[in-house]
Amino acid sequence: MSENTQKDMEQNVQEETVKEVPVTEAVKEEKKEKKETPSKEKKGFMKKDPKKEKMAQLENKVAELENQVAKDKDDYIRLMAEFDNFRRRTSQEKLELVSVASMDTIKGLLPVLDDCERALVVLKESDDSSAAKEGTELIYHKLLSYLQSKGLAVIEAKGKEFDTDLHEAVAQFPVQDEEQKGKVFDVVQTGYTLNGKVVRFAKVVVGI
Domain positions in the chain: 54-148, 151-208
End-to-end CA distance of the chain: 168
Please compute the mean of the pLDDT values over residues 85-102 and round it to a whole number: 81
Alpha-carbon Rg for the chain, nearest whole angstrom, is: 57
pLDDT 10s digits, 43-55: 444 566 788 888 8
169-185 pLDDT tens trace: 999 988 888 888 889 99
What is the rounded CA–CA span in Å between residue 186 and residue 180?
11
| Residue 193 CB burial class (10 angstroms; 0-12, 13-18, ≥19) | middle
Beta bridge partners of 192: 154, 200
Answer whether residue 78 shows pLDDT above 60: yes
Range with the lowest mean pLDDT among 27-31, 78-82, 137-141?
27-31
Secondary element (H or E) of residue 198 = strand 197-200
Q: Residue 193 and residue 8: Cα distance in Å, rounded?
A: 146
The per-residue pLDDT for 12 is: 55
pLDDT in tens, 4-28: 555 555 555 455 444 444 545 554 5
Which of the four pLDDT bands, split at 50, 70 and 90, describes residue 193? very high
pTM (2 decimals)? 0.55
What are phi and psi for residue 135, nearest 5 degrees? -65, -45
Q: What is the pLDDT of residues 53-64, one digit of tens each?
A: 888 888 888 888
Query: Whole-angstrom Cα distance, residue 62 to residue 60?
Result: 5
User: Which residue did the predictor score with more confidence, 158 or 24?
Assistant: 158
CATH 3.90.1690 fits 54-148, yes or no: no
Q: Is 167 left (phi over 0), alpha (psi -120 to 50) or beta?
A: beta
pLDDT in tens, 102-156: 888 888 999 999 999 888 888 888 877 788 888 889 999 999 999 999 889 999 9
pLDDT of residue 19: 47
- The architecture (CATH level 2) of 151-208 comes to Roll (2.30)
Do 139 and 172 form a contact (C-beta atoms < 8 A)? no
**Confidence (pLDDT) at 155:** 94
Question: In this model, does residue 205 exceed pLDDT 50?
Answer: yes
